Amino acid sequence: MSNIIERVDGEVVEVDTWDQMAAEPDKWFVIFQKYFLPLGPGRSVRQAYKVWQEDHGKTQGPKDRPTRWWLQMANRWEWRLRAFDYDKHLNQRTMNVAELAIDMLQDVAVDAVEALASALDNPRTRVAAAKEILDRAGVPALKRTEKVSVTLTGEDIRRAKDDADEWEKKQFPSQTNS
């Protein structure tokens, strides 16, 4: 039940299952969207009802048990199944972003290694290149016995790559005329 097709004004359109269903009342869709979906994969109608009660200042009646009407509407409009599809969609988007980030980091890492290797091949620039690249990456000079843990974001790596490229252009202007 990942996507459904509906006719709207004679047109065929794709609608995600977590979007409002054709005959679903606005009230119940808003409740589904505002109180049920945001609770995440461990969600329940009971949790959604409790949050709804708190939002609406309802202090009478059992706060932790949804009414029969709530349970019927949740079943009628397939909240659990639609929320499951929504969670799968979010997980897939997260995986896509993670894969893109990994690809970007791998590309940047290859370029940085090539620039470092090139600079390290030249005996006159070897030490300066290593120090410059490490400084720009935020890695301080270390003794052999020290261990340091550095957390870098994709943006940090992109900046370091740009800095290394800039340094390489300054050091080797005849080789980087592109």
Q: What is the pLDDT of residues 128-156, one digit of tens each?
A: 777 777 777 776 655 555 555 667 787 87
Could you tell me if residue 177 is inside a domain? Answer: no
In a domain, 176, yes or no: no
User: 7 and 88 share a domain?
Assistant: yes
* Residue 5, pLDDT score: 64
On whether residue 23 sits in a domain, the answer given is yes
Query: Does 18 reside within a domain?
Result: yes
pLDDT at 106: 79
Among 71, 93, 115, which residue terminates a domain? 93
Q: What range does the domain containing 43 cover? A: 3-93
Q: With a cut of 70, which residues of the chain have pLDDT below it?
A: 1-8, 59-63, 139-150, 175-178
Q: Indicate the pTM of the whole model.
A: 0.57
- What's the number of domains the chain is made of? 2
- Domain-located, residue 178: no
How many whole angstroms separate alpha carbon 121 and alpha carbon 135? 19
Three-class SS of the chain: CCEEEEEECCEEEEEECCCCCCCCCHHHHHHHHHHHHHHCCCCCHHHHHHHHHHHCCCCCCCCCCCCHHHHHHHHHCCHHHHHHHHHHHHHHHHHHHHHHHHHHHHHHHHHHHHHHHHHHHCCCCHHHHHHHHHHHCCCCCCCCCCCCCCCCCHHHHHHHHHHHHHHHHHHCCCCCCC
> Which residue, of 93, 110, 143, is where some domain finishes?
93
For tokens 């052999």, the residue is 144
86 and 9 fall within a common domain: yes
Among residues 93, 122, 140, the one where a domain terminates is: 93
pLDDT value of residue 124: 80
Predicted confidence at residue 129, as pLDDT, reads 78
